[in-house]
Structure formats: structure tokens, C-alpha cells
């Protein structure tokens, strides 16, 4: 997730040198659609501008020497001002961060990660799906919070503890990743200040949780600087953690943040410059690992070229808060190849003497040199849209040196000039990549032989032959079986008349704009989308006048002895098989969609479809609220903004809120289960009836709405995790 940013600025001067280049940034976090804020405000610090992330390259090759001298002078001055201490990078426990070239953000709701039927984490399934496209990964950021955080008063730490199997189950899952040589991160959200108070400083709480589950690192969502308290807390817990801010590091936290994310994205009017830029944090500390990420950018060529040019990694984000934003095949293949090279030559990529914009022979070809004791690596990119063949590098030659084209997996035969320089010829396809290794070894090591063989086989197919077409995932709606029509109006239900109804609704999600794939896909639509409109013929049906109450749900339990296999959080507010005193007429909550379906089946009813619920609430007049178009604060329970939420309101307490058909509690008490939608990677339910609980402090909390022309999409993982203190249901027939 991200924040609003100001328009792009011109890159500032580096010391005495004037570098004028437009950097690649956007206000990606700014919602690209109208929002009704859930009574919160963004409470986060401003983020770094372009000049704090990327340093522009030389304006022309002739200026490279003075440019590099200025860059080195700037680095020395900056490190001195920071009072920089590099000892954290020498810690053996954190050395692995310098080899984290491929990281994946993994939403816990991804269907490749957990199977609710077997109640098992499916680490192998997730890795098989991911690595078949982008190659081996080094780390995962397991994400259990946004966008569902804030649906009730559980805080970010509660949602980690609420994952299937609790902390022991999470520990086993983390161990499964470790057995497959994958490190594990979890996030912390500085903006989570409106839910339940943990009762302990977040750094202490999180360090202890990370120790309990055996995690390796923390990702600091939306932050460009890691507070020193987290570093100290990890040391105090005796469990060193890799600390990973999301944005460019501008302060002394570079000393204890051994890796970071950089969000590099562009708008059409602010493209990447043709001349590649240099990553500031990498230039300050060559051992600092950056993973570039650029979600909502379909063609990732610019980011991938800059990552390879700087010798840094890439963070893949495909499940974007419940809709699948897959890597295009060409980009996925690029990630597979560049990370394979970087991983094999990781020792070179931490060279203190690395040199961006080292000389090349062809226009539009840019190289970075990473020297080591016995070998030198060049990472090379072609910024031209056309292929470039022929002489590419001219470098001082040393007798006995062997040269390898790592991209094509073959040895190069240099042309040695009278001046003792070696000229290397090879080809680079348009917007492509290359890598050259010069080594003093008489024959390639087994590791190098393996790399050469792999890249020779892989490069037989050019990147240009891979599709650059982005595709959304189609969804299906889970069937709701019809019920037998009653002969008379069932008790507690209201008859809704037959009608031709203009069903118009939009999804209330914070990110994703109007991209295909956002929100849901109704059976009559050819793609998931945020905005929906259709004239529907609705047959007459019955709907519960109020949500199902605790007293009614207890009758179901007594009649059926129902008890779910996954009973975590089931009726969490009950004790000794009954509800709290005074709660009989309050809507039942802490029931998952599976529990609601079980009750409905027992009652010879079903859950309502989204459009049925809306029609019952709205009537045929397209009004905004059940009671009309004007806001009436006394027509629904007052919102609760406290960090610990109060109980829901009795179901018949607000008669003014009745719909045109007399249906109560359609808005403002609890959210209510309706339809479920699925694709290969996500299950999600549509919730209707904005709940009374609305935590303050951030727009990133689960977005709720009281408007009848908006619905909420709630991601599903497992019954125990899905149940919430603000979600109940009503039935239809």
C-alpha cells in the first residue's frame, strides 16, 4: 500500500554537478476513483521524493569521469554526515540479506497458500506456481493484514495470531519455507493506531512474535525509515531480524536496515529517463540489498532494467489485495534470468568498488562494473527498442583471462589490440539484457558451468518471443441453491415483490482503480470490474426482517449440535454455549459464511444474492440509503470509533432505518454475508450493510460504506480467520 505523493520534481544537483533528469515516480497510492473515506485520515509521514531514491546518470559519456568523481564525493560526505556505522552488514546472521534477489509478497488469502478443506498450509503449491514463472525465490513477505484489517477491533498482531493453527501453525509454515531455502518476512503497519491497543510497544510485541514463529525479517509498510527501537528489540529478544523499509532510506537507519524495498513506478507523463539512474542506498552501502517493486505497472521493463543495472533484486507482487495482477510472460522470464545471474555472482554485486556507467562502445547500451579479486562482472542493459550487435566492451586485458557471455551461456573470444585491450563482441536484443564475466580461472567452476548451461538453454528463446500481453483472471460466483417456495409468509420474513430492477453498484476497494480484475464478476459480465449495472428481473422472494440474532442461532445449535471443524473464533463472544446476558436480540456475529450457510440450510432458507439484498434495502427508486436520499443520523446506530469496540445494537432498535419494504438493520449495525466469488488465487465474499465499528487513524482500514450503491469485498482464507465481530447475516427464501 502506498500514500499520496506530490508531483515529480527535477532531480537536484549533486554537489557541484548539475544533473537534470526526470526520475521515475508516481502517486500510485492515490486512489484512482472516488472514495467515501471510512471516517479516517491518513496519519503517515511524507515519503521520499525521487532525489532520495535514484541519482541521475551522466548527461553524456564524455561527462562520465567527472560525474563519477562527484558521485564518490557525495557518498563520502553523506556517510560522514550520517556518522555511518557499517557493522550490521558484517553480522553472519544477516549475511543472507545480501543475496535476496527475488522476494514475493504473499497474501495469506491466496488459494495456493492455504487449503481450508485440508486445513493445511500449502507451501509447496505456492512455490511451484510462483517459481514455474519467475524462477527460484529467496524470500516471501507473508501479508495477513490490509485490506481486511479494521473490519473489527483486532489489531495487526491479533491477525497474525489468528492465522490458521495459531502461532504454532505459523511456525510450522515458516519452517516449511526454511526447508526450501526461502526466508520469511512479516509486515508491521505504523498506521494501525485505531484498533485494539496491544498493551506493549509495537517493537517489543513484534520482536517477540517474530521469535515465536521463527521469522527472519520485518517489512515496514509505508515507511522509509526503520525506528531504532525495532533494531534494539530484535537484539534484546536474541533473535536478529532483517529490517526492510518500503521506501528509500534517508537517514542513519541505513546502518541497521540491511535491505529495503523501492517502489519505482511511472505515469505516462513522467517516464523513466533513457539514461539509467543509480540507486542511492546501494551507492552509499554496496552491501545493502534493494528489491524493486512497481505494482500496477503492466510493462515492468524499466524497473527490471534499472534493477539489473544496479545489481539489485526485484519484489514480485501479483495478488494485489485480492485481484490477480500477473506478471506479463516476458517480465516473468526476465526476473527468472536476471536473478539467476545475480544469485550466482552475488559476491561481485557487493563490491565496494562497483562502477555504474562504466564505458561501453554502442549508443544506448549501459553497463555497470562489479570487480572482485579474481573476476569482474558487468551487468548490461539495452535502452534502445532495437537490437544492438557487434563490439560492446573494450577493457584492459590480462593474460590468462577468460570472458563469458553469461546471458547466452557461452565463452567470448576477445580481440586483443596492440594497446593491450580486449574488445568483446556480442548481441543484445531490443530493451534487453546482457552480462559478461571476466575471470582468471583456467576453467569455469562447477557453479559457473551450471549457470552457463542454464542460460544457454534459456536464451535459445529470445525475450522478445514472450508475450507482453497482460491478462486478468476470470471469476465465478458460487452457486446459491434455490429453496422450496413457502405456501405462506414465513415467520420473521418479509415478502419482496417481483420486479424489473436496475441493479447498480460499485466495489468499495482502496486500490486498483478501474482495472479489469478489480472487485467481482457477475455471471452476466465478461470480466471482473469495479462498476456494475444491469436491469435484472427479480422473482418475488422473502427476506428476514432483521439479521439472525444470537437467540435464533442458539436454537439452530440446540437442534443440530452443529460445530464446525475449524472452530477458531466460532461464536467467540459466547461462553458456556450461550451468548452474554442481554445479547439475545443482538445480531449474531463471529460466524463465517460457512456457518451462515449451515444455519440457512437448517431453516430451509438461503443467503441472499447481492442484488436481492440491495433491492430489499433500496426498492425501485435507486435511493442512496434504506430510508431515502438524505442522511439521517438517528436512523442507524451511532458509529464506534474507539480502539475496543462496543457490542452491536439490538436488531429492532432503529425503526427509522427501515427500507421501503419494511426491512430493518440494512445499514449501520453489522455487515452481512451475501455472494461469494472465486478465481484461481482468491476467494472473496460481498458484504452488505456497513458495520457500526469504524476504527480511526487511517484510510487503509477495511473500507466500509453505508451507501446502497456500494458494496464491500471481504477476502476469505479459512472459517477461523474469516469470522469477525462485525459480520453476521440474514436469510432469504
Q: Dihedral angle at the C-alpha atoms of 531, 537, 541, 543, nearest 10 degrees?
A: 20
Distances (CA, A) of 265 to 5, 98, 269: 12, 24, 12
Write down the pLDDT at residue 692: 98
Examine the pLDDT at 157 and tell me if it is beyond 90.
yes
Please give the sequence-ordered ranges of beta strands (E in DSSP) within 181-288, or none if there are none.
183-189, 217-221, 242-245, 259-263, 278-279
Examine the pLDDT at 596 and tell me if it is beyond 70.
yes
Closest to 521 (Cα-Cα) out of 534, 537, 539: 534
* Diameter of the chain measured on Cα atoms: 102
Q: Are 599 and 534 in contact, with CB atoms under 8 Å apart?
A: no
Calpha distance 380→412 (Å, rounded): 15
Q: Is the dihedral of CA 387, 389, 391, 392 positive or negative?
A: positive
Examine the pLDDT at 17 and tell me if it is beyond 80.
no
What structural domains and CATH numbers belong to the chain?
86-344 (3.20.20.80), 346-465 (2.60.40.1180), 478-728 (3.90.1580.10)
Write down the pLDDT at residue 497: 98
As a residue count, the chain comes to: 733
Per-residue pLDDT averaged across 356-376, rounded?
Answer: 97
Calpha distance 526→414 (Å, rounded): 56
Which residue's C-alpha cell is 563469458? 404
Q: Which three cell numbers, joined as nine digits, stand for 681?
A: 488465487
Examine the pLDDT at 13 and tell me if it is beyond 70.
no
Q: Which three cell numbers, joined as nine digits, stand for 309?
A: 543495472
Write down the pLDDT at residue 659: 98
Which residue's C-alpha cell is 420486479? 499
Using DSSP bridges, classify how beta strands 313-316 and 102-107 pair: parallel, antiparallel or unpaired. Answer: parallel
Write down the pLDDT at residue 35: 36
Calpha distance 339→307 (Å, rounded): 10
Instruction: Count the Cβ atoms, other than its own, within 10 Å of residue 72.
Output: 12
Calpha distance 217→100 (Å, rounded): 12
Write down the pLDDT at residue 159: 98
Q: Are 356 and 389 in contact, with CB atoms under 8 Å apart?
A: no
Distances (CA, A) of 376 to 236, 351, 445: 40, 10, 15
Count CA atoms closer than 13 A to 522's CA, side-chain side.
Answer: 18
Calpha distance 525→643 (Å, rounded): 40
Instruction: Count the Cβ atoms, other than its own, within 10 Å of residue 208.
Output: 16
Q: 417-464 pLDDT, tens per residue? A: 999 999 999 999 999 999 999 999 999 999 999 999 999 999 999 999
Q: 173-232 pLDDT, tens per residue? A: 999 999 999 999 999 999 999 999 999 999 999 999 999 999 999 999 999 899 999 999
CA 57 from centre of chain: 30
Examine the pLDDT at 107 and tell me if it is beyond 80.
yes
Calpha distance 397→394 (Å, rounded): 9
Instruction: Count the Cβ atoms, other than its own, within 10 Å of residue 101.
Output: 26
Question: 578: which strand partners?
Answer: 575
Q: 678-687 pLDDT, tens per residue? A: 999 999 999 9
Per-residue pLDDT averaged across 352-358, rounded?
Answer: 98
Helix (H) or strand (E) holding 537: strand 531-538
Write down the pLDDT at residue 8: 28
Examine the pLDDT at 674 and tell me if it is beyond 60.
yes
What does the mean pLDDT of the chain come to? 92
Calpha distance 155→171 (Å, rounded): 20
Examine the pLDDT at 267 and tell me if it is beyond 70.
no
Per-residue pLDDT averaged across 270-286, rounded?
Answer: 91
Q: Which three cell numbers, joined as nine digits, stand for 88?
A: 550490521
Examine the pLDDT at 349 and tell me if it is beyond 80.
yes
Calpha distance 687→405 (Å, rounded): 55
Q: Which three cell numbers, joined as nine digits, stand for 726?
A: 462485525
What is the helix, strand, coil percentage profile of the chain, to 5? 25, 25, 50
Which residue's C-alpha cell is 482500514? 701
Write down the pLDDT at residue 41: 35
DSSP annotation of 378 reads: E
Examine the pLDDT at 18 and tell me if it is beyond 60.
no
Q: Dihedral angle at the C-alpha atoms of 94, 97, 98, 99, nearest 10 degrees?
A: 130
Examine the pLDDT at 296 and tell me if it is beyond 60.
yes
Q: Which three cell numbers, joined as nine digits, stand for 168?
A: 504454532
CA 601 from centre of chain: 37
Contacts with 128 (C-beta within 8 Å, 6 or more apart), sequence order: none
Examine the pLDDT at 529 and tell me if it is beyond 70.
yes
First vs last C-alpha separation in the chain? 40
Three-class secondary structure assignment of 99-136: HCCEEEEEECCCCCCEECCCCEECHHHHHHHHHHHHCC
Examine the pLDDT at 523 and tell me if it is beyond 60.
yes
Per-residue pLDDT averaged across 610-619, rounded?
Answer: 98
Stretch among 36-45, 350-359, 605-614, 654-663 having the lowest mean pLDDT: 36-45
CA 164 from centre of chain: 20
pLDDT band at residue 89 using 50, 70 and 90 as cut-offs: very high
Examine the pLDDT at 373 and tell me if it is beyond 80.
yes
pTM for this one? 0.93
Distances (CA, A) of 433 to 296, 337, 430, 518, 709: 23, 9, 9, 33, 49
Write down the pLDDT at residue 248: 76
Calpha distance 585→100 (Å, rounded): 54
Percent of the chain with pLDDT over 70: 92
Write down the pLDDT at residue 270: 57
Examine the pLDDT at 23 and tell me if it is beyond 70.
no
Examine the pLDDT at 503 and tell me if it is beyond 90.
yes
Q: 394-407 pLDDT, tens per residue? A: 999 999 999 999 99
Q: Are 546 and 729 in contact, with CB atoms under 8 Å apart?
A: no
Q: Is the peptide bond before 421 cis (omega within 30 degrees of 0)?
A: no
CA angle 104, 108, 111 (to 5 degrees): 95
Amino acid at each position: 500500500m502506498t500514500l499520496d505523493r506530490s508531483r515529480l520534481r527535477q532531480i537536484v544537483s549533486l554537489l557541484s554537478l548539475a544533473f537534470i533528469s526526470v526520475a521515475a515516480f508516481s502517486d500510485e497510492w492515490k486512489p484512482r476513483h472516488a472514495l467515501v473515506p471510512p471516517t479516517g485520515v491518513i496519519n503517515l509521514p511524507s515519503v521520499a521524493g525521487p532525489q532520495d531514491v535514484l541519482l541521475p546518470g551522466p548527461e553524456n559519456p564524455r561527462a562520465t569521469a567527472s560525474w563519477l568523481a562527484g558521485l564518490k564525493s557525495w557518498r563520502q560526505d553523506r556517510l560522514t554526515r550520517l556518522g555511518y556505522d557499517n557493522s550490521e552488514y558484517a553480522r553472519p546472521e544477516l549475511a543472507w540479506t545480501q543475496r535476496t534477489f527475488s522476494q514475493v509478497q504473499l497474501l495469506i488469502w491466496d488459494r495456493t497458500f492455504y487449503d481450508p478443506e485440508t486445513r493445511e498450509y500449502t507451501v509447496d503449491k505456492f512455490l511451484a506456481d510462483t517459481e514455474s514463472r519467475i524462477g527460484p525465490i529467496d524470500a516471501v513477505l507473508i501479508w495477513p493484514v490490509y485490506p481486511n484489517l479494521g473490519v473489527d477491533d483486532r489489531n495487526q498482531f491479533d491477525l497474525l495470531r489468528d492465522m490458521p493453527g495459531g502461532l504454532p501453525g505459523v511456525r510450522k509454515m515458516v519452517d516449511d519455507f526454511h526447508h526450501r531455502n526461502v526466508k520469511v518476512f512479516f509486515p508491521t503497519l505504523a498506521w494501525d493506531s485505531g484498533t485494539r491497543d496491544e498493551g506493549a510497544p509495537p517493537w517489543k510485541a513484534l520482536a517477540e512474535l517474530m521469535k515465536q514463529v521463527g521469522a527472519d525479517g520485518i517489512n515496514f509498510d509505508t515507511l522509509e525509515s526503520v525506528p531504532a527501537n525495532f533494531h534494539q528489540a530484535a537484539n534484546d529478544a536474541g533473535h536478529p531480524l532483517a529490517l526492510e523499509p518500503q521506501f528509500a532510506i534517508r537517514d542513519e537507519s541505513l546502518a541497521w536496515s540491511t535491505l529495503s524495498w523501492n517502489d519505482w513506478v511511472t505515469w505516462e507523463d513522467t517516464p523513466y529517463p533513457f539514461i539509467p539512474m543509480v540507486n542511492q542506498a546501494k551507492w552509499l552501502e554496496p552491501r545493502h540489498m534493494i528489491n524493486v517493486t512497481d505494482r500496477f505497472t503492466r510493462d515492468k521493463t524499466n524497473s527490471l532494467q534499472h534493477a539489473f543495472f544496479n545489481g539489485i533484486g526485484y519484489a514480485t507482487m501479483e495478488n494485489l489485495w485480492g485481484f490477480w495482477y500477473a506478471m506479463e510472460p516476458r517480465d516473468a522470464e526476465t526476473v527468472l534470468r536476471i536473478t539467476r545471474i545475480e544469485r550466482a555472482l552475488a559476491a561481485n554485486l557487493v563490491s565496494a568498488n562497483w562502477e555504474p556507467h562504466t564505458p561501453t562502445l554502442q549508443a544506448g547500451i549501459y553497463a555497470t562494473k562489479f570487480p572482485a579479486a579474481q573476476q569482474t562482472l558487468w551487468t548490461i542493459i539495452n535502452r534502445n527498442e532495437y537490437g544492438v550487435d557487434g563490439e560492446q566492451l573494450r577493457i584492459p586485458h590480462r593474460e590468462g583471462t577468460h570472458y563469458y557471455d553469461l546471458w547466452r551461456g557461452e565463452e567470448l573470444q576477445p580481440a586483443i589490440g596492440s594497446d593491450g585491450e580486449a574488445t568483446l563482441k556480442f548481441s543484445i536484443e531490443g530493451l534487453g539484457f546482457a552480462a559478461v564475466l571476466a575471470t582468471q580461472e583456467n576453467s569455469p567452476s562447477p557453479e559457473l558451468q551450471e549457470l552457463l548451461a542454464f542460460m544457454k538453454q534459456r536464451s535459445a528463446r529470445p525475450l522478445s518471443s514472450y508475450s507482453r500481453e497482460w491478462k486478468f483472471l476470470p471469476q465465478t460466483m458460487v452457486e446459491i441453491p434455490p429453496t422450496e417456495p413457502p405456501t405462506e409468509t414465513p415467520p420473521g420474513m418479509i415478502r419482496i415483490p417481483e420486479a424489473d430492477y436496475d441493479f447498480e453498484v460499485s466495489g468499495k476497494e482502496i486500490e486498483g482503480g478501474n482495472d479489469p480484475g478489480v472487485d467481482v464478476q457477475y455471471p452476466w459480465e465478461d470480466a471482473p470490474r469495479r462498476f456494475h449495472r444491469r436491469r435484472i428481473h427479480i422473482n418475488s422472494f422473502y427476506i428476514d426482517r432483521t439479521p439472525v440474532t444470537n437467540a435464533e442461532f442458539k436454537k439452530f445449535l440446540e437442534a443440530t449440535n452443529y460445530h464446525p471443524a475449524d472452530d477458531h473464533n466460532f461464536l467467540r463472544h459466547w461462553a458456556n454455549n450461550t451468548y452474554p446476558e442481554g445479547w439475545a436480540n443482538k445480531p449474531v456475529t463471529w460466524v463465517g459464511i460457512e456457518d451462515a450457510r449451515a444455519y440457512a440450510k437448517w431453516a430451509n432458507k438461503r443467503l441472499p444474492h447481492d442484488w436481492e439484498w440491495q433491492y430489499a434495502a433500496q426498492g425501485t427508486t435507486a435511493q442512496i440509503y434504506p430510508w431515502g436520499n438524505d442522511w439521517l443520523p438517528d436512523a442507524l446506530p451511532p458509529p464506534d470509533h474507539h480502539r475496543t469496540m462496543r457490542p452491536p445494537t439490538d436488531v429492532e432498535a432503529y425503526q427509522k432505518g427501515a427500507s421501503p419494504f419494511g426491512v430493518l438493520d440494512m445499514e449501520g449495525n453489522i455487515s452481512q454475508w451475501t455472494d461469494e466469488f472465486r478465481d484461481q488465487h482468491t476467494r472473496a465474499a460481498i458484504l452488505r450493510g456497513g458495520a457500526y465499528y469504524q476504527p480511526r487513524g487511517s484510510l487503509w482500514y477495511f473500507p466500509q460504506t453505508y451507501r446502497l450503491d456500494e458494496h464491500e469485498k471481504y477476502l476469505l482464507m479459512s472459517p477461523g480467520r474469516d469470522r469477525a465481530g462485525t459480520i453476521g447475516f440474514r436469510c432469504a427464501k
